[in-house]
């Protein structure tokens, strides 16, 4: 099993969509990329901790490639929106790929460059590509939030 970590706005919809990808064995929502140890949702929502709302995806590389996960990531949000997705705004909602290996970094950078060159978006892609740091699992009520509450996908 391998890990992949993505930020694409509110983590509830991102989690639900990655759970549908064949070869993904688990998805947890949480926070990464900030300065505060063991942040809470309330802390992250202040937009002062530097954390992004993210999903940490556990996947079987024999069943799904990291490149396929990148394709899903690009399709489920607007990577040209700086520090926001839809109505959610703040650095915690930034578009970000947190890589776990040099191979993931190379794949992420190549994927971003290919998408930018495709001219699919009229604006530049602002997705951050950074090394994965400590993943802080979000509070339990955030895990599978949409599923637990019988809500439809909330993402763009």
> Which residues, other chains included, contact 8 with Cβ-Cβ below 8 Å and sequence gap of 6+?
14, 55, 73, 76, 77, 85, 95, 96, 155
Whole-number pLDDT of residue 152: 72
Active site residues: 10
Report yes or no on 155 lying in a domain: no
pTM of the model: 0.94
Question: Could you give the number of structural domains in the chain?
Answer: 1
d(CA 127, CA 54): 13
Report yes or no on 119 lying in a domain: yes
User: 36: domain range?
Assistant: 2-148
Report yes or no on 135 lying in a domain: yes
Whole-number pLDDT of residue 155: 56
Q: Are 148 and 17 in contact (CB under 8 A)?
A: no
Low-confidence stretches of the chain (pLDDT < 50) are 156
Whole-number pLDDT of residue 72: 97
Report yes or no on 156 lying in a domain: no
Whole-number pLDDT of residue 92: 96
Whole-number pLDDT of residue 87: 87
Q: What is the CATH number of the domain that holds 23?
A: 3.30.1060.10
């Amino acid at each position: 099993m391998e890990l992949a970590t993505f930020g694409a706005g509110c983590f509830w919809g991102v989690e639900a969509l990655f759970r549908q990808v064949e070869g993904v064995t688990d998805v947890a929502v949480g926070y990464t990329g900030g300065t505060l140890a063991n942040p809470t949702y309330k802390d992250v929502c202040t937009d002062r901790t530097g954390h992004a709302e993210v999903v940490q995806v556990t996947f079987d590389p024999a069943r799904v490639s990291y490149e396929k996960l990148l394709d899903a990531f690009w399709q489920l949000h607007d990577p040209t929106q700086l520090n926001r997705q839809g109505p959610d705004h703040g650095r915690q909602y930034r578009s970000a790929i947190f890589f776990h290996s040099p191979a993931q970094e190379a794949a992420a950078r190549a994927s971003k460059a290919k998408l930018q060159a495709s001219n699919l978006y009229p604006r530049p892609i602002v997705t951050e590509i950074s090394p994965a740091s400590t993943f802080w699992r979000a509070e339990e009520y955030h895990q599978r939030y949409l599923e637990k509450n019988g809500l439809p996908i909330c993402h763009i």
